[in-house]
Amino acid sequence: MNKTILILALATAVAAGSACSGGGNGSKVGSDAAIEKRIDRILSGMTLTEKIGQMNQVSVGGSDEMMADAIRNGSVGSILNEVDPLKINEMQRIAVEESRLGIPLIVGRDVIHGFKTVFPIPLGIAATFDPGLAEEGARIAALEATACGVRWTFSPMLDIARDPRWGRIAEGSGEDPYLNSRMAVAMVRGYQGHTLDNTSMAACMKHFAGYGAAEGGRDYNSTNIPERLLRNIYLPAFKAAVDAGVMTVMTSFNDNDGIPSTGNSHILKDILRDEWGFDGFVVTDWNSMGEMISHGFAADRKEAAMVAANEGVDMDMMTFGFISHLEELVKEGKVKESVIDNAVRNILRVKILLGLFEQPYVDADAAEAACYTTAALEAARKTAEESVILLKNDGVLPLTGVRKVLVTGPLADAPHDQLGTWAFDGEKGRTVTPLAALRESGLDVVYVPGLAFSRDKSIDFSAVKAAARGVDAILAFVGEEAILSGEAHSLSDINLIGSQSELLKALRETGKPVVATVMAGRPLTVERDLGNVDALLYAFHPGTMGGPALARIILGEAEPGGRTPVTFLRTVGQVPMYYNHNMTGRPYNGETLLEGIGLEAGQTSLGNTSYYLDSGAQPLFPFGYGLTYTTFEYGNVVLDKDVYDADGVIEVSYDITNTGERKGTAVVQVYVRDLVGSIARPVKELKHFERVHLAAGEKKTMTARIPVSELAFWGRDMTFNVEPGEFTMWVGGNSASGIPVGFRVR
């Protein structure tokens, strides 16, 4: 069949279907019989070489001419890291008009927390406990990125993280499976849209699976997660994303119990495909196929390609294993052509659903106007405000009756660092820093940075001290440069780096009120700094509009809306410490700490429970914690029944009162403990949260509805059930407080 006729045939074929959004025939990604027929027709016209070309993803950055040739001869199915709409259109034109089959490319990019308009890093978005806002931000990111021709993002990152030494704790939604699951659904819906159209950007849940449990918090390190823990803690958010229709999955770098995820059909087939019914496509992480050689799991690239294909990988990111060896492997009978066909089906299904065959090009002239819109910047600012956590306030905030302030610290005017990790496309020139925003606020601002960057070790604070003499208050912005956060940026010491703590101490010695803001990609250990500040705000790298958000919060025009999405430790030696831990046989019950041990202690026992002599058993700040500019009281927690059936719904009503003088937003959290199970169960698990706005003095009676099925877990016999028995539920403002009520499941 000559080329023109073939393209016409394809065009006719693809026109027959529609980029549908409904999930016909049980498809999770929204396919239906018409689309499956289109795929059959396209596949039937493909050579083995062309099929394998669809399974090959290539990053731009090499020779444009070589890339053009590869696209033209059908060796590339996807590109990543191009964001210029003109260049994307040209590469699409070659694919659609110059290759034999005219199959469009799918263009991928790490759009992790915004594209041009940068939102707070995902850990900050999680701190909002506001899935609606997270979805809005993802939708804005999709509008900006798809306008430039990017139709696939390698987000959301759903790795549960319990170790702040791991730099990539910045990219996920923290330590809790329920919060991660709610954020996962929100971001998939935001990126892909509730109905598929040309603003839909295929989401990619990553890194599948267990990557956040890297031993020692050292990135890329091995994980050792037993199946039951994997299913109860590390997989729920991924399952939620699949149920929400996520179109792609990325395999993780880690080996779990010796098996690299890129070669692990138990997670890629048994769980992802057979149990969950996922029918999008699986891409490797960057060269994670090739890294199976380094793992000692494959002898060479050919074997790595064979393992990846047979274990469930559909697309190869930057190993060139498929394009180099798959054809040979098929001819040698080591990989069946049906495996290739299945992979290509999955890839074509996503390309068809995105409408790429009908609309492969973008209007390059409209791209710029689609970015940095007022609505996008407003949403970024609102998200930043809701992400900022107030950890300490001796009454100095909100700042009132102040005319002149000293602004200091290495993050007061650091537009690049403020964006945080994985903010490739955010222009630092568009970042509004706290210094710029405070100068706009009408305050008389004196700016003396004191330190040039977060790692700066200089201790000459004479200029800062001199400037402090003439001001009413000091606003210090400290934390982490963006480069210290994110991939491959693990730290073994998570105190404020450089001489930032010394700067805060110097500020304390001035006798002026000190308001410190930490901007970081992880929960740093700030206990030693608390005594040197009158108030502490924590902003996980807050993005483009972090400055206005912080200025408005400091001045009382907005409230600090965030709650801790991860536990804040007293010292890094407490790792791992997280709220949903098991009780153990000897829970801490207040034994003697180091300072209480007399010199005559001798060999007497100091206690036989699970704690540290030098730092106890409690963190500095628990999960779900955050102060506000008012106070809330909870009461009258009442369950609609005492006993529930496994298929029932728990209705818990409670009163919440704003007992302060300012309006405010509470983040109400409902935790549950299964008192006795076929396995030891966590002391608490988050099962519901909502943001409740209350005027000063206002009282509301609220009702939360929690399906009993939410209490199911993988038990001793490795089945997923709600086990009958006694439960306790807490309703309150964080994981360490709340009013308990009991109930039973029969």
* Contact residues for ligand GLC, defined by CB under 6 A: 110, 154, 206, 285-286, 487
Burial 233-268 (b: 16+ CB within 10 A, else e): bbbbbbbbbbbbbbbbbbbbbbbbeebbbbbbbebb
CB of 122: closest distance to ligand GLC in angstroms?
12
**What are the phi and psi torsion angles at 720 (to 5°)?**
-100, 105
CB of 172: closest distance to ligand GLC in angstroms?
11
Residue 69 is among the residues annotated as catalytic for this protein: no
From the list 365, 255, 353, 349, the residue with the least C-alpha distance to 18 is 353
| 110 vs 417 by CB, closer to ligand GLC | 110
Tell me which of 163, 219, 285, 417 is the catalytic residue: 285
Angle of CA points 387, 392, 397, to nearest 5°: 80
| 318 vs 708 by CB, closer to ligand GLC | 318
CB of 739: closest distance to ligand GLC in angstroms?
41
Residue 639 bridge partners (DSSP)? 652
Tokens representing 310? Answer: 């047979």
Residue 654 bridge partners (DSSP)? 702
* Residue that is written with structure tokens 């490319």 in the block: 105
Q: How many Å is the maximal CA-CA distance in the chain?
A: 95
Distance in angstroms (rounded) separating the CA atoms of residues 134 and 126: 8
Element (H, E) at 208: strand 204-208
**What are the phi and psi torsion angles at 218 (to 5°)?**
-90, 120
| 154 vs 320 by CB, closer to ligand GLC | 154
| 110 vs 723 by CB, closer to ligand GLC | 110
Distance in angstroms (rounded) separating the CA atoms of residues 150 and 641: 51
CB of 545: closest distance to ligand GLC in angstroms?
24
From the list 238, 188, 178, the residue with the least C-alpha distance to 706 is 178
| 172 vs 732 by CB, closer to ligand GLC | 172
3-state secondary structure of 563: coil
* Residue that is written with structure tokens 């728990």 in the block: 650
CB of 159: closest distance to ligand GLC in angstroms?
10
| 85 vs 486 by CB, closer to ligand GLC | 486
CB of 607: closest distance to ligand GLC in angstroms?
43
Q: CA torsion sign, 227 to 229 to 234 to 240? A: positive
Query: Closest residue (Cβ) to ligand GLC?
Result: 154
**What are the phi and psi torsion angles at 329 (to 5°)?**
-65, -35
- Angle formed by the axes of helices 546-554 and 374-387, to 10°? 50
Distance in angstroms (rounded) separating the CA atoms of residues 262 and 264: 6
| 187 vs 379 by CB, closer to ligand GLC | 187
| 288 vs 454 by CB, closer to ligand GLC | 288
| 249 vs 711 by CB, closer to ligand GLC | 249
Alpha helices (H) along 19-154: 33-44, 48-54, 64-72, 85-93, 122-127, 131-147
CB of 156: closest distance to ligand GLC in angstroms?
11
Amino acid at position 232, single letter? N
CB of 109: closest distance to ligand GLC in angstroms?
8
From the list 144, 117, 84, the residue with the least C-alpha distance to 427 is 117
Beta strands in 200-258 (DSSP E): 204-208, 248-251, 255-256
CB of 149: closest distance to ligand GLC in angstroms?
17
Tokens representing 546? Answer: 């972090």
| 78 vs 525 by CB, closer to ligand GLC | 78
CB of 107: closest distance to ligand GLC in angstroms?
13
Element (H, E) at 184: helix 177-192
Distance in angstroms (rounded) separating the CA atoms of residues 222 and 503: 38
Residue 740 bridge partners (DSSP)? 730
Active site residues: 285
